[in-house]
């Protein structure tokens, strides 16, 4: 029987990204005529347990000191050991940074093949194929994963949640034998955490936001982002930024949207003073509506947006906030 193993990081809960990973794993297992197994790094949350219960055939838990995002080498060793014992045909991960770093290395250790940022999965003649955007979102490539296991990390919000009627899993808990994980404990510590800085999270994650107001280099400094935050709050959304704005230190790295940042799919993406380089557009191509405000009529973003305004944002935002406040009062 061909197994599909989905890996969930510590603290994974019942959010849209997790539901998409569960849905992708469930449907791929069905296409392969195999089983769907879930592996949690750390004790699974109640939300994850409730989500997996009706769908997964088994739930494995790895609970070891220093196994997690803080110790990638030990985590990688533990995951490789579990994968060898379960012999999955496919291993699916989410799009968090640790999973992106882990996927190709895990595939190498297991003698498999890897692909990242997948937007769809299919089985053709018993071969797993993944599709991903290329050339800054201008085309889609189909990649056949010939060597098993196929290790794939998925783009957030690209996969629909699973329908409980699709399949019926037992949700049985499987104990990972401590002896299997001993090499992960005995291995040398190649990375030590010197300091941890946690950014307070407010509101929905960018990948979950339905409305995003983003700013770019054209804002000229960090102060205008306070105005963008006020506007996004008024719209019930989140604030984001281009790579240039983040690299300049005007806003936190967690706000970065683009090919090397978050990939988002809101109902409305309002780009303020963002030119729209291909790397940025690759991160917002799934947005339902893109609107832009920019002084430069030749800015590339005007070729991609549904609504565009050539104007100084400093003249537009106060008026927009006032009119929205009037509409909502």
pLDDT at site 141: 93
Higher pLDDT, 12 or 304: 304
pLDDT at position 48 is 84
**Strand ranges (DSSP E) for the chain?**
3-8, 35-41, 58-62, 88-93, 113-124, 127-134, 139-145, 150-154, 172-175, 211-215, 238-241, 268-272, 289-294, 307-310
Give the model confidence (pLDDT) of 252-266 as tens digits.
988 999 888 888 889
CATH 3.40.50.1220 range(s) for the chain read 206-328
Q: Is pLDDT of 84 > 70? A: yes
Mean pLDDT to the nearest integer, 9-17: 81
**How many residues in the chain?**
329
| Digit-coded pLDDT (tens) for 173-220 | 766 766 777 776 676 767 777 777 766 666 667 888 899 999 999 999
User: What is the third-level CATH fold of 3-186?
Assistant: Rossmann fold (3.40.50)
Q: Which residues in the chain are classed under CATH 3.40.50.620?
A: 3-186
108 vs 112: CA distance, rounded Å: 6
The 10s digit of each residue's pLDDT in 43-81 is 888 888 888 888 888 888 887 665 555 677 778 888 998
What 3-state class would DSSP assign to 114?
strand
If you classify domain 206-328 with CATH, what class do you get? alpha beta
pTM as predicted: 0.79
């Amino acid at each position: 029987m061909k197994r599909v193993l989905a890996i969930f990081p510590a603290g994974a809960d019942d959010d849209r990204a997790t539901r998409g990973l569960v849905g992708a794993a469930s449907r791929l297992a069905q296409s392969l005529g195999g089983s769907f197994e879930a592996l949690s790094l750390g004790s699974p949350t109640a939300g994850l347990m409730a989500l997996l219960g009706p769908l997964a055939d088994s739930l494995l838990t790895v609970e070891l000191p220093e196994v997690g995002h803080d110790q990638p080498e030990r985590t990688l060793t533990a995951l490789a050991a579990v994968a060898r014992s379960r012999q999955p045909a496919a291993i699916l991960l989410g799009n968090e940074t640790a999973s992106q770093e882990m996927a190709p290395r895990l595939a190498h250790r297991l003698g498999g093949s890897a692909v990242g940022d997948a937007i769809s999965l299919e089985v053709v003649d018993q071969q797993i194929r993944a599709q991903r955007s290329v050339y800054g979102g201008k085309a889609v490539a189909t990649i056949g994963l010939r060597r098993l296991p196929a290790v794939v990390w998925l783009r957030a919000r690209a996969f629909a949640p699973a329908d409980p009627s699709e399949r019926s899993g037992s949700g049985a808990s499987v104990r990972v034998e401590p002896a299997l994980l001993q090499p992960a404990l005995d291995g040398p510590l190649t990375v030590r955490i010197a300091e941890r800085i946690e950014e307070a999270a407010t509101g929905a994650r960018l990948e979950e936001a339905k409305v995003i107001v983003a700013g770019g280099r054209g804002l000229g400094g960090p102060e205008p982002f306070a105005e963008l935050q006020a506007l996004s709050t008024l719209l019930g959304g989140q604030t984001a930024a281009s790579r240039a704005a983040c690299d300049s230190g005007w806003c936190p790295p967690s706000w970065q949207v683009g090919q090397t940042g978050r990939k988002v799919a809101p109902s409305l993406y309002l780009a303020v003073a963002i030119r729209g380089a291909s790397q940025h557009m690759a991160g917002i191509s799934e947005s339902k509506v893109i609107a832009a405000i920019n002084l430069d009529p030749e800015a590339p973003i005007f070729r991609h947006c549904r609504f565009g305004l050539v104007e100084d944002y400093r003249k537009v935002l106060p008026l927009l906030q006032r009119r929205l406040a009037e509409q909502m009062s």
